[in-house]
Amino acid sequence: MDPQIQKNLHSPDTASWRQYARLAVGREGVGALLHYELVTGMLSGWPGAGGLWLRRKLYPGLLGSCGRGLIIGRNVTIRGASRIRLGRNVAIDDNVVLDARGAEASIELGDGVLISRNTILRARNGRIAIGAGSDIGANGLLATDSRLEMGRDVLIAAYVYVTAGGNHRYDDISRPIIRQGFTSKGGVRIGDDVWIGAQSTVLDGVAIGTGCVVGAHSLVNRSLAERSVAWGVPAVRRHERGMQTAPTES
């Protein structure tokens, strides 16, 4: 975690183009910055099949790595491009933001991952890793200042917020909260084959075990054991997948 990121974007000791290159490309260098500007400036909003084809061919050259079969929609924002790694057949829908900001940031999407429109993935000096075959719904926010790790074949519905770190400190009443930095409870870990319902929120420090189901409009503020079916504010384990009623407590 780096509470100086915002300050560094306005550093008087660094040329503006270098600051912008760090943000957009993930590293300094005139050539890399011009390449980024040319490709994104010309192709970001290009409509139709022609735009999809051109972005498939030229966007991989901006990224840290990218497998075959990339589909990337219109008006996708990429920050820290060199710190983003995509597997094969990844699909990024319209208006998505992939923001890998800071020297320690990274975003990794496995084979066949779908990120639906208007969703934001923000790794601020942290790591986001999403396993193969996962489907991230529209209008969501996955953000971390530490780590957010998601397994394979995870289904995240629309308007889900996962906040893995970035909890503002507020103990010093003599300073504004925004200037006190962050604390972390260790990030969020979501196992394989998990389904999180629409408009749910997952908070920092939570581990959701393999095979869990989280009902819509839930607040997950504590860890869930494997195959739990849970819902509510806060989310409570109601029963186990494959069992019609909750197990009897011993």
pLDDT digits (tens, 9 = 90+) for 72-92: 999 999 999 999 999 999 999
> Which domain does 219 fall in, by range?
11-239
CA distances from 128 to 29, 55, 66 (A): 25, 23, 16
State the average pLDDT over residues 204-230. Answer: 98
pLDDT band at 184 (very low <50, low <70, confident <90, very high): confident
Domain for residue 184, yes or no? Answer: yes
Residue 144 domain-assigned (yes or no): yes
Q: Is the pLDDT of residue 249 over 70?
A: no
Distance (Å, rounded) from C-alpha 218 to C-alpha 35? Answer: 43
Q: How many CB atoms lie within 10 A of CB 247?
A: 9
CA distance 208 to 190: 5
* pLDDT at res. 42: 93
Q: Is residue 5 part of a domain?
A: no
Q: Report the range of poorest mean pLDDT among 63-72, 159-168, 200-209.
A: 159-168
b or e along 148-173 (b: 16 or more beta carbons within 10 Å of the residue's beta carbon)? bbbbbebebbbbbbbbbbbbeeeeee
Asked if the structure places residue 3 within a domain, the reply is no
Estimate the share of the chain in helix, then strand, then coil, as percent rounded to the nearest 5: 20, 30, 50
Does 3 have pLDDT greater than 50? no
Residue 245's pLDDT is what?
A: 55
Q: What is the pLDDT of residue 82?
A: 93
- Residue 246 falls inside a structural domain: no
Residue 221's identity, in one-letter code, is N
Check residue 92 and give its pLDDT.
98
Confidence of residue 50 (pLDDT cuts 50, 70, 90): very high
Predicted TM-score (pTM) of this structure: 0.87
Please tell me the predicted confidence (pLDDT) of residue 81: 93
Q: What percent of the chain has pLDDT over 70?
A: 91
Beta-carbon contacts of 215 under 8 Å, excluding residues fewer than 6 positions away, are 197, 200, 229, 230, 231, 232, 235
Domain annotation covers residue 191: yes
Residues 111-149 have pLDDT tens digits of 999 999 999 999 999 999 999 999 999 999 999 999 999
Looking at the structure of the chain, the number of domains it has is 1
Contact 125, 106 (CB under 8 A): no
**What's the CATH number where 69 sits?**
2.160.10.10
| 142, part of any domain | yes
Q: Which residue has the higher pLDDT, 28 or 114?
A: 114
Q: What is the pLDDT of residue 244?
A: 59
Query: Which of the given ranges, 22-26, 27-31, 102-106, 186-190, has the highest pLDDT on average?
Result: 186-190
Residue 2 forms part of a structural domain: no
pLDDT at 183: 81
